[in-house]
Chain A
Amino acid sequence: MSFPLWPEAASALATDVDHLYIYISLVSVVMCILIFGVIFIFAVKYRRRSDSEVPEPIHGSLRLEITWSIIPFLVMLTFFWWGAKIYFYNAVPPPNAMDVYVVAKQWMWKLQYPGGQREINELHVPIGQPVKLTLASEDVIHSFFIPALRIKHDVVPGHYDTMWFNANKPGRYHLFCAEYCGTEHSGMVGWVTVMTPADYQNWLAGGGQSGTMAQLGERMFEQLGCSGCHLENGKGRGPSLRGVYGSRVQLADGESIQADDAYLRESILNPNAKLAAGYRPGLMPSFQGQVTEEGILQLIVYIKSLAVATTPGAPTARIPSLLQTPTLQRVSVARLATQPNGGTQ
């Protein structure tokens, strides 16, 4: 029976988290030795020798109180600082990250790649390539946890959450659901397979897919009747969606908003919540219940492709072009931690 005492580390971040863990552990061990050692010495040295002895009281010492308040706090601030750096690094995916879309439901993980490949409870990724996961839930809260990468993020229904990683060691690693989600919570597990780029290309080629996510989304865009109003030339009853993704949308209430995944999702399910300026409320029906979370993600990828199609090159060229990049920049933890943009919901 295998009996590991330390988890595998399959990314630079995992190694950094290990170092932080070892650092706090060492400080804790030193603290325990100090406190328990002193208590042990006192307990032996000052044991009661006769029943009549009455020790002199010592009321306290302000200097000692300040010392043992400030010094531990300063040490704790180093924990705080290091932990915050890792947290900020986790929060900001690099711009060249490859997208994978995750839909959680009781009790399975459904993953889709922009190229159209789909998997259940399996995630295949190449080493040396930042991977950004967009997480959606169809029912309750789940949590996507890969211990070997030391990352975890809750998957909250009604929200889009993102997490990212850059694996550096090929292997098969556990994928766990970490937020209790009902009967088969402990069965909501799977595997993350980290591969060399060549193996990954072979794997991609082997998948029999029925079209890229953008193509699937385009088909759905027509089936649901979206294309009847959102005409490309802007003369339909709804606004043209060309170039919308990533732009700022002027809203009817005078505010404006960045058209990101969460905004597009909300506009599909609850169109009146943040109405674009110039369109009347109630014009667009809600598509709640008519389209699955996976379908919404396909629609979003399609709309996203409309944003980049204005430049030459097919919209779906994004993933292969990234894979051709042999080395990807490693952004240092410290540098990313100083960038306050993005990452928040």
Chain B
Amino acid sequence: MSTALQEPEVQETPNYLNAEYGWKSWLFTKDHKRIAVLYLISISVMFALGGVFAMLIRLELLTPQGDLVNSDTYNKFFTMHGVTMIFFFLIPSIPATLGNFFVPMMIGAKDLAFPRINLLSWYIYIAGALFALAAIVMGGVDTGWTFYTPFSTTYSNTFVITAAVGVFIAGFSSILTGLNFIVTIHKMRAPGMTWGRLPLFVWANYATSLIQVLGTPVVAITLALVALERAFHIGIFDPAIGGDPILFQHMFWFYSHPAVYIMILPGMGVISELITCFSRKGVFGYSFIAGSSLGIAIIGFLVWGHHMFVTGMSMYAGLYFSLLTMLVAVPSAIKVFNWTATMFRGSISYETPMLYAFGFIGLFTIGGLTGLFLGTLGLDVHLTDTYFVVAHFHYVMVGGMVVAYLGGLHFWWPKITGKMYPEGWGKFSALLVFAGFNLTFFPQFIAGYLGQPRRYHAYAPEFQVLNVMSTAGASVLGLGFIIPLIYFLWSLKYGKKAGNNPWGAKGLEWETTSPPPTYNFETTPIVTEEAYAYAKHEEAHVG
């Protein structure tokens, strides 16, 4: 193709991608959009790495004997799968990429409040990821992503400290991003962009930022204590030297349960944007969706003990944690009902992002409902630490968060790159993800109720049929993730020009060019209407 050599950039309008060239212009950038792209590349690498571990796990579990790798290697596979996916993909995923790119644009700001700190947070993330990679390359970690004591502090012979340091460092990246968002949303909204007019994606990122800032220090302290006990035998968690292993679990889950909401709230924010755009209709119950994000952020801090119902915790504490777990389900239910009501009398179209939104509602609803099974005390006694739990949190984390992330990526890809991806392939891979996901994880609910424990390298032969289904599904799911990677890269060169607003969406980010200029807007926008004012579009022209 000789036409491709004609440097089409020459004709393009100035934008953040062609403003500067060379690797220095990327590695020293202070533009939130470029930093978002840096994050996008890095978390994609970590997602691929975590995905490779997932496939190795599923291959091993094809047969009950544990014959592909030895048990130590298997234990390292699921640990590294969990550590890379949770700390280096899911937690940064939407806030650091789509949030970083679009929170400032959606509120009409030129950038985040602290552009240098934003770049710093990416470098901190990379430093943390390098420690995690070093732990893998040196020989791996076998504690499970939960680092339970005293196994992690005294008994494991693997690179626990290296991995813990990696997670510790990455935590600061999360804290800084959260801080940056909070200050930006408070101080840098365009004239007229009141709190009541904020897009729901911004509200979701705001709630997420609160958890990041308040919760992450606790897990950092906890992992630092693990490293200290391991290195210097200070008796904190190991009972043989005067500690208490249950203390670790309280501290760990005090962060790691809210962390679940760090992972899912931004996804919910994306879904609010997708449902309104592809229903071409203002959102139903704006204040309830926005408020429920804050409700989840607050109540989410009070339910950590539901991970510990069989540890010998006081049964009265169990009552409290179970009741609050039921309560935290209410704001999530409110969101699902309001999204459904938004579609009522809408004008619904079925582009790829909307397919992901449908998928999200279906999978997240199942993930949420199965959370109630686990929040129910007497039932959790049987289900905890079985494949039921594995299925449940994958329905929330993958069926919810990853599907929302893919939906958001397809929705904003034209804005980020200025190019369209092939719609047919988009729809096809969205269906693959949905089908593959269900085939992978639904059988695990059944295996879990049958009693198959999680983190088993070899398992009882009667569980094999369900495990073969899971592995088959994982292959389909993997394909569903690889296809978008290919066509997104393809679209950078061959994709059709997107135009400023290919979906006819509302929101300030769609009023500027695609890709946006370095400072986002030619002139600071002035906001005169509520979010998602699709019907007002006509009136605005008339008046």
Contact = CB atoms under 8 A, between A and B. Distances in A.
Q: Do A and B come from one complex?
A: yes
A46 B372 contact: no
Contact of A178 (B284, B346, B386): B386
A178 B446 CA distance: 17
Contacts of A84: 318-319, 322, 377-378
A343 B309 CA distance: 13
A177 B330 contact: no
Interface residues of A, number: 89
A54, A82, A345: which has the most chain B beta carbons within 10 Å?
A: A54
A69 B315 contact: no
A46 B345 contact: yes
Interface in B120-141: none
A185 interface: yes
A180 B343 contact: no
B151 A60 contact: no
B409 interface: no
Interface in A30-69: 31-32, 35-36, 38-39, 42-43, 46-49, 53-61, 64-65, 68-69
A280 interface: no
Nearest to A56: B535
Interface string B410-440: 0000000000000000000000000000000
Interface in A1-29: 1-7, 16-17, 20-21, 24, 28
A187 B459 CA distance: 9
Interface string B476-519: 00000000000000000000000000000000000000000000
Nearest to B538: A54
Interface string B444-456: 0010011101111
Contact of A157 (B245, B340, B381): B245
A28 B345 contact: no
Given A79-B372, A80-B376, A58 B282 contact: yes
Contacts, number: 288
Contacts of A39: 340, 343, 358, 361
**What is the predominant secondary structure among interface residues of chain A facing chain B?**
mixed
A46 B508 CA distance: 26
A177 B458 CA distance: 12
- Candidate in A49, A56, A158 with the most chain B CB atoms within 10 angstroms: A158
A307 interface: no
A275 interface: no
A54 B537 contact: yes
Interface string B278-291: 01111011111000
Interface stretch (B2-10, B49-57, B197-205, B460-468): B460-468
Contacts of B458: 186-187
A83 to B, nearest CB: 3
A106 interface: yes
Contacts of B365: 31-32, 35-36
B309 A87 contact: yes
A144 to B, nearest CB: 9
A88 interface: yes
A180 B453 CA distance: 9
B75 to A, nearest CB: 7
B5 to A, nearest CB: 37
Nearest to A273: B242
B348 A43 contact: yes
B453 A31 contact: no
Given A28-B372, A176-B453, A53 B347 contact: yes
B379 interface: yes
Contact of B245 (A24, A68, A80, A141): A141
Interface string B63-104: 000100001100100000000000000000000000000000
B386 A36 contact: no
B337 A17 contact: no
A181 B450 CA distance: 21
Interface stretch (A93-101, A147-155, A202-210, A228-236): A147-155
B337 A68 contact: yes
Interface in A233-274: none
Interface in B303-355: 309-316, 318-319, 322-323, 326-327, 329-330, 333-334, 336-338, 340-341, 343-350
A289 to B, nearest CB: 9
A6 B450 contact: yes
Interface string A134-151: 000001110101011011
Interface size class of B (residues with CB under 8 A): 35 or more
A192 interface: no
B127 to A, nearest CB: 28
Given A20-B376, A158-B244, A345-B312, A79 B326 contact: yes
B211 to A, nearest CB: 22
Query: Quick one: which of B379, B446, B465 has the most chain A CB within 10 A?
Result: B379
B201 to A, nearest CB: 18
A183 B244 CA distance: 23
A72 B381 contact: no
A132 to B, nearest CB: 14
B240 A157 contact: yes
Interface in A161-181: 161, 174, 176-181
Contacts of B537: 54
Interface string B9-23: 000000000000000
A182 B194 CA distance: 53
Nearest to A88: B315
A258 B214 CA distance: 40
B526 interface: no
B245 A156 contact: yes
Given A20-B378, A32-B365, A145 B282 contact: no
Given A72-B333, A86-B378, A183-B71, A152 B384 contact: yes
Interface stretch (B35-43, B142-150, B185-193, B225-233): B142-150
B155 to A, nearest CB: 5
B538 A182 contact: no
Interface in B371-409: 372-373, 375-382, 384-386
B378 A1 contact: no
Contact of B340 (A17, A35, A180): A35
Given A31-B365, A154-B311, A82 B450 contact: no
B369 interface: yes
B339 to A, nearest CB: 9
A344 interface: yes
A208 to B, nearest CB: 31
A183 B154 CA distance: 14
A119 interface: no
B534 interface: yes
A42 B450 contact: no
B315 A343 contact: yes
Interface string B244-282: 111000000000000000000000000000000001111
A158 B340 CA distance: 51
Given A151-B381, A154-B312, A65 B285 contact: yes
Contacts of B318: 84, 87
Contacts of A145: 385, 451, 453
Contacts of A46: 279, 343-348
Contacts of A43: 343, 348, 350, 358
A24 B464 CA distance: 26
16 contacts: A24-B379, A46-B344, A46-B348, A56-B345, A57-B535, A58-B345, A60-B284, A60-B286, A72-B333, A83-B379, A83-B380, A86-B378, A159-B312, A182-B155, A186-B455, A344-B315
Given A57-B281, A87-B381, A184-B71, 4 more contacts: A150-B382, A183-B75, A185-B75, A186-B457
Interface of B: 66, 71-72, 75, 142, 144, 148, 150-151, 154-156, 238-240, 244-246, 279-282, 284-288, 309-316, 318-319, 322-323, 326-327, 329-330, 333-334, 336-338, 340-341, 343-350, 358, 361-362, 365-366, 369-370, 372-373, 375-382, 384-386, 446, 449-451, 453-462, 464-465, 532-535, 537-538
